[in-house]
């Protein structure tokens, strides 16, 4: 029903989109009368840490807030690429969603055990974006043009959000439809882009009064011819550009039911198709989504909000093994269908009292169900076996957080959350396709448990220019259905699932200080994370041969299994500075030192003392915004990544890299601007992967995009 309803909404809105585009072009050509400025600024508040709006200076955890304008001006083709100006933000690998397989788009904050399954919770207006089956994130779903802003809470938020917020929170906030209808005008934004690799995109955000409320219509169409993923020296005739395309249509309708109660209905339909670098390897994603949200202010001291949402998703992907000369590939698996659904509800109440005392509390519930359906074991031109594996997970929690001044200039935050989780209907069935003979038919007993996630923080302001903070939290993450039940093969690397995986638990602490005077802000923070029972892809055997657990491993291949590593320690130092000597110039500098090592691993003692895969020890970023004249703005960015390792055994090294990006915009009129984005301006080699047989994968080469953005 969800899919049908969302498509129905899309079909009804499509004619409106066409009329608005024609209207916009007509107004532009005729030079209509100026309208009031329509930039919607993100309030100087943070909502992700406690599910309650609070000034950033009162949050005891490390927080970075981006305005929507900052994200749109970033010299990056993708939204996740824009967030990389914060060294503490990274994906599983160095490639972003411009070229990465969706299953490799898991987010990592401060290098807390990166994997395809995110260890951080990603939200869009309070609703999880993490994939229900695998935990990764489809960043291209987020409407960049309609963003009011984004928040990165590193090391905090688990007491408010629970499962999956182990490393922190990333939340995107869209402009509310009612705020877009200032003074009753129809408000919109249209962006069109074209550039390298035949990359093209168009995104529309428009809002207008409809049915006694405000309707916001969002749409995007994107396509790129892509670039080859294999390094030039390893590339063969089989390798081709990793092309992709995606499109979505979303609508938000908001109406005031009473003077104190608002209702927001949101729908989204999304489609994506990707080629992953060879003729056979492809994937596709399909999603239909709907949510209903209520927000009420019953009285000045008390307010509440509630949301219910439903997500129906389909994913498909193919994998192959490529020969040594890269002239031919053999299909390894055909994951022809991964149906997954997610249903959730949440309620949050906020009480504000005199003396700047605030409490937030609430409850939420999320249930996900999904399975993989795939063909495998390719013999004589066809797959001979079929696998169906999956199950269901339920998580319900209650939370409460309280903030108050203890004495003058000293503020405390104390919170706790109790979660109850359950896994059910776990199964894995493998059959012979020709005869239907059952080769394996495993059913897994249901499991359940409870987790307590406390947090505490202090913020001290000893002088007007200084702020000192300390924070600690305990958090957890249940393995995804993908980790529990689905084995997979990429090339000659075979990874077995593990239905007995235990819950990951992390204890995180940090101490930070901030100095602000005139146009200069300096920040420093030291952090320490102790991650217990971390799920890792642990190398067990090397091919060729047939082995227990993983089965046959070809020559040059590896056999791995998802296992719990007893203890991982992630500790480090964050430094940042912002200097704005004039209104036309602002400079930022950020640095992250990250010491992420395995401290105990009973299943694999050889890993003790080694660095975590995909975590560089040093990361730095330097950025600026310079407006030499009123119409012209430059946004350069330099990022430095130290070397890191591809694998758990630290045998496959990825080299250090310095990446220079440049953005520029020129305002032609009050309503239109031209812009240019140049990623990896010097065409540096960005090593994103290295296979056991030495094949190197590389990230985005020089990417030039230009376009026009108009508002009305």
Closest CA to 222 of 251, 252, 243: 243
Amino acid 179: pLDDT:
54
Amino acid 302: pLDDT:
93
Q: How confident is the model at residue 555 (pLDDT cuts 50, 70, 90)?
A: confident
Amino acid 491: pLDDT:
81
Residues whose CB falls within 8 Å of the CB of residue 655, separated by 6 or more in sequence, listed in order: 643, 685, 687
Q: What is the pLDDT of residues 319-341, one digit of tens each?
A: 999 999 999 999 999 999 999 99
Q: What is the pLDDT of residues 290-320, one digit of tens each?
A: 999 999 986 779 999 999 999 999 999 999 9
Q: What is the pLDDT of residues 239-295, one digit of tens each?
A: 999 999 999 999 999 999 999 999 999 999 999 999 999 999 999 999 999 999 999
Q: How confident is the model at residue 483 (pLDDT cuts 50, 70, 90)?
A: very high
Q: What is the mean pLDDT of the chain?
A: 90
Amino acid 264: pLDDT:
95
User: For 279-409, where are the E strands, in sequence order?
Assistant: 282-299, 302-322, 329-337, 340-353, 357-379, 382-407
DSSP 479: P
Q: In the predicted model, what is the mean pLDDT of residues 503-514?
A: 97
Q: What is the pLDDT of residues 33-47, one digit of tens each?
A: 222 223 333 447 899
Contact 164, 135 (CB under 8 A): yes
Helix boundaries (H) for 353-392: none
Identify the H or E element spanning 473: strand 466-477
Amino acid 186: pLDDT:
54
How far is residue 600 CA from its own chain's centroid? 29
Q: In the predicted model, what is the mean pLDDT of residues 175-203?
A: 79
Q: What is the pLDDT of residues 514-551, one digit of tens each?
A: 999 999 999 999 999 999 999 999 999 999 999 999 98
The dihedrals phi and psi of 8, each to the nearest 5 degrees, come to: -60, -45
Q: Say if residue 31's pLDDT is above 60.
A: no
Amino acid 298: pLDDT:
67
Q: Say if residue 185's pLDDT is above 80.
A: no
Amino acid 465: pLDDT:
96
How close are the terminal C-alpha atoms of the chain, in Å?
36
Q: How confident is the model at residue 182 (pLDDT cuts 50, 70, 90)?
A: very low
Amino acid 444: pLDDT:
97
Amino acid 556: pLDDT:
84
CA distance 20 to 641: 44
Q: Say if residue 176's pLDDT is above 90.
A: no
Contact 483, 388 (CB under 8 A): no
Q: In the predicted model, what is the mean pLDDT of residues 600-610?
A: 96
DSSP-assigned letters across all residues of 87-106: TTEEESSS--TTTS-GGG--
% of the chain exceeding 90 in pLDDT: 83
2-711 architecture in CATH?
Answer: Beta Barrel (2.40)
Q: Which residues pair with 247 in a beta bridge?
A: 221, 271
Amino acid 211: pLDDT:
83
Amino acid 451: pLDDT:
98
DSSP 161: H
Relative to beta strand 282-299, strand 504-517 is unpaired
Amino acid 8: pLDDT:
33
Q: Say if residue 89's pLDDT is above 70.
A: yes
Q: What is the pLDDT of residues 392-402, one digit of tens each?
A: 999 999 999 99
Give 37 or 707, the one with higher predicted confidence.
Answer: 707
Q: In the predicted model, what is the mean pLDDT of residues 482-509?
A: 94
Domain ranges of the chain: 2-711
Burial class (CB in 10 A: 0-12, 13-18, 19+), 503: middle
How far is residue 21 CA from its own chain's centroid? 30
Q: CA angle 174-175-178, nearest 5°?
A: 140
Amino acid 589: pLDDT:
97
CA distance 552 to 491: 13
Contact 290, 307 (CB under 8 A): no
Q: Which residues pair with 139 in a beta bridge?
A: none
Amino acid 33: pLDDT:
29
Contact 620, 612 (CB under 8 A): no
| Both tokens assigned to 359 | 């409490």
Q: In the predicted model, what is the mean pLDDT of residues 492-509?
A: 95
Q: How confident is the model at residue 19 (pLDDT cuts 50, 70, 90)?
A: very low
Q: Say if residue 28's pLDDT is above 60.
A: no
């Amino acid at each position: 029903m969800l899919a049908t309803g969302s498509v129905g909404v899309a079909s009804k809105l499509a004619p409106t989109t066409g009329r608005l585009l024609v209207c916009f072009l007509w107004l532009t050509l005729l030079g209509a009368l100026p309208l009031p400025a329509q930039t919607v600024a993100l309030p100087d508040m943070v909502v992700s840490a406690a599910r309650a709006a609070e000034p950033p200076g009162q949050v005891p955890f490390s927080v970075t807030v981006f305005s929507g304008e900052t994200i749109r001006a970033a010299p990056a083709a993708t939204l996740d690429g824009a967030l990389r100006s914060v060294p503490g933000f990274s994906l599983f690998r160095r490639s972003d969603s411009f070229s990465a397989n969706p299953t490799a788009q898991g987010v990592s904050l401060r290098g807390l055990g990166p994997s395809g399954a995110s260890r951080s919770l990603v939200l869009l207006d309070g609703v999880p974006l993490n994939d229900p089956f695998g935990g990764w994130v489809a960043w291209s779903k987020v409407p960049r043009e309609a963003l009011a802003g984004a928040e990165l809470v590193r090391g905090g938020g688990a007491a408010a959000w629970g499962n999956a917020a182990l490393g922190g929170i990333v939340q995107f906030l869209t402009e509310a439809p009612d705020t877009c209808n200032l003074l009753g005008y129809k408000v919109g934004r249209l962006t069109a882009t074209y550039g390298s690799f035949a990359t093209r995109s168009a995104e529309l955000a428009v809002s207008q009064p409809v049915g006694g409320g405000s309707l916001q219509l969002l749409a995007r169409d994107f396509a790129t011819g892509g670039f080859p993923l294999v390094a030039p020296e390893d590339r063969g005739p089989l390798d081709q550009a990793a092309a992709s395309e995606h499109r979505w249509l979303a609508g938000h309708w908001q109406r005031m039911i009473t003077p104190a109660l608002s209702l927001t209905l949101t729908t989204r339909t999304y489609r994506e198709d990707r080629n992953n670098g060879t003729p056979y390897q492809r994937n596709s994603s399909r999603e239909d989504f709907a949510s209903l949200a209520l927000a009420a202010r019953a009285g000045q001291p008390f307010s509440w909000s509630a949301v219910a949402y439903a997500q129906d998703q389909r994913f498909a992907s193919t994998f192959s093994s490529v020969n040594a000369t890269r002239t031919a590939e053999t299909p390894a698996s055909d994951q022809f269908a991964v149906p997954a659904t997610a249903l959730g509800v949440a309620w949050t109440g906020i009480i504000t009292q005199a003396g700047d005392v605030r409490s937030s509390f609430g409850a939420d519930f999320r249930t996900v169900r999904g399975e993989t359906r795939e063909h495998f074991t390719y013999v004589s031109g066809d797959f001979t076996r079929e696998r169906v594996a999956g199950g269901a997970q339920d998580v319900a929690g209650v939370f409460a957080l309280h903030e108050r001044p203890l004495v003058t200039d000293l503020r405390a935050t104390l919170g706790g959350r109790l979660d109850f989780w359950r896994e059910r209907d776990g199964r894995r069935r493998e059959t012979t396709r020709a005869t239907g003979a059952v080769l394996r038919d495993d059913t897994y007993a249901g499991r359940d448990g409870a987790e307590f996630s406390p947090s505490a923080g202090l913020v001290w302001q000893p002088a007007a220019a200084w702020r000192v903070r300390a924070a600690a939290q305990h958090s957890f993450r249940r393995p995804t259905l993908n980790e529990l039940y689905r084995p997979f093969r990429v090339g000659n690397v075979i990874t077995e699932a593990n239905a007995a995986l235990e819950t990951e638990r992390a204890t995180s602490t940090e101490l930070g200080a901030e100095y602000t005077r005139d146009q200069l802000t300096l920040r420093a923070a030291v952090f320490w994370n102790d991650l217990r029972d971390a799920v890792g892809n642990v190398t067990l055997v090397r091919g060729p041969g047939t082995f227990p657990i993983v089965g046959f491993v070809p020559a040059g291949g590896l056999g791995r299994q998802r296992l719990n590593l007893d203890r991982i320690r992630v500790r480090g130092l964050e430094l940042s500075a912002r200097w704005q000597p004039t209104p036309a110039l602002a400079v930022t500098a950020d640095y992250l030192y990250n010491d992420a090592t395995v401290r105990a691993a009973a299943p694999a003692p050889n890993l003790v003392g080694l660095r975590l895969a995909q975590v560089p020890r040093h990361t730095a970023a330097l950025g600026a915004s310079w407006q030499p004249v009123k119409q012209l703005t430059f946004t350069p960015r330099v990022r430095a990544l130290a070397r890191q390792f591809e694998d758990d055994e630290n045998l496959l090294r990825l080299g250090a890299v310095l990446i220079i990006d440049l953005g520029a915009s020129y305002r032609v009129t009050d309503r239109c601007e031209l812009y240019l984005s140049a990623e990896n301006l010097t065409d540096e080699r960005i090593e994103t992967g290295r296979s056991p047989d030495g094949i190197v994968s590389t990230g985005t080469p020089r990417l030039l995009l230009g376009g026009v953005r108009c508002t009305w």
